[in-house]
Every structure is written in structure tokens, then in C-alpha cells.
Structure 1
Amino acid sequence: MTAAEVPIRVMVHEVWDEIPLVVTAATTVREIKQRALSAARVVESADAFLVKFRGAELADEAQTVAQSGMPAGAPLIVLRRARRPVH
């Protein structure tokens, strides 16, 4: 890992698994979401999911890690935009 790389943790709620990722300050929220869903083997469209950091949705997925203020080791969560019904 180089000084420009930032390790983060992404909890993918769909599979209840934490995905460790190494990103750069220029990585977008959208790319983080896509990489985490892919690593968790979620095959549905990334558009059906949102990303939260410190309890708030990162609505602008074009924002970068630097613009979002994510420190090394930042915990993020990827979850569905709409809740699924419980049967």
C-alpha cells in the first residue's frame, strides 16, 4: 500500500459482510459502491443501493473519498434504497 492509498471498510447489508477495500483520495463513492457489491457477489443493479458514512447518505456518488472527508479505516455501509417486505 502506498501513501496515496486509503484502506476503508464497507459493510454490505445485503449479505451482512464487511468488505475491506483500498482506495485513493480520487476514488468516487459510486466506484466504492460498485466494488463492494461486486466483491459481495450482489448481482442486482448498483442503482438499487445507497452508501452511508457516519449515518448519513452520501447522495452525490460523484464525490471522491477526499471530498467526503473519509479517513483511513472509514466504515461505510451499502444498503438498499427501498426496504424489502418481510414475509
Structure 2
Amino acid sequence: MTAPFVTNLRSGSDRPIQVGNGDGQVLRMRAQVASMWDAIRIDASPEATVREVKLAALERLVPDSFPPDQYAVKLRGFEVLDENSTVTDAGAVDGSIFLILDRRRRPTR
């Protein structure tokens, strides 16, 4: 994915969420919570952690959700095992999409 593609797609808010220190380079990404079928735009510094991105997405899209540890984060189809790593160490680039999903299956109602 490219940054223009990611920033032009429909997302839950017109303004992106700022994650990290906001100084210098910015990675334009999206985070999608699978159970909500919605996504948000995120502008993150390369030093921001995957956990910060996950918490920002859950806070915006699912404020009354389960504890954050009950959600997994995937990037390019693979689970990010160390959420304390930076987004660049996890392999994110400008235009990346983080998928946040329930760690365990839950019954539908």
C-alpha cells in the first residue's frame, strides 16, 4: 500500500490520530479493528510503539472494549509478537495497515 492510497480511503474520522512524539518524520498509516469494520488514519512517528497504535485505535473505535491485552495486532498478515517494538522495527512503512482483532473467538449475538 502507498501513503496516498491509505490516506484517501474512507476512515472513521477526517483528522488522523497523532501517535508518538510528532517531531520529524511521520508515517501515515491506518489501523482497522476487525470486529468494528471500521478504520482510522494514524500519523505516527517512527519511534511510536505498536502498542501505542493499538491503544489509540481501540480508544477511538471501541472505547468500551475488552482489556487491550485481549486483542492481537497484525501487520502484513502476521501477528506482531512484541508490541513494545517501534512501528518501524515491526516492519511498518508509510502506507501500512495495522489490523487489530480479538485474540480469541467470541460468540456472536
What fraction of aligned residue pairs are identical, expressed as a percent?
33
User: Given the two structures, how large is their TM-score scaled by the length of structure 2?
Assistant: 0.73
Give 5+ residue unaligned stretches, structure 1. none
- The amino acid that maps onto 1:21 is I
Aligned length: 87
The alignment yields a C-alpha RMSD, in angstroms, of 1.6
Pairing 1:41–2:62 present: yes
Q: Spell out structure 1 runs of 4+ moving beyond 2 A.
A: none
- The amino acid that maps onto 2:69 is D
* Larger relative helix fraction: 2
User: Given the two structures, how large is their TM-score scaled by the length of structure 1?
Assistant: 0.90
Q: Larger relative CO (CA 8 A, sep 6+): 1 or 2? A: 1
Tell me the equivalent position of 1:65.
Answer: 87
- Does the residue aligned with 1:22 lie in a helix, a strand or coil? strand
Give 5+ residue unaligned stretches, structure 2. 1-21
* Larger relative strand fraction: 1
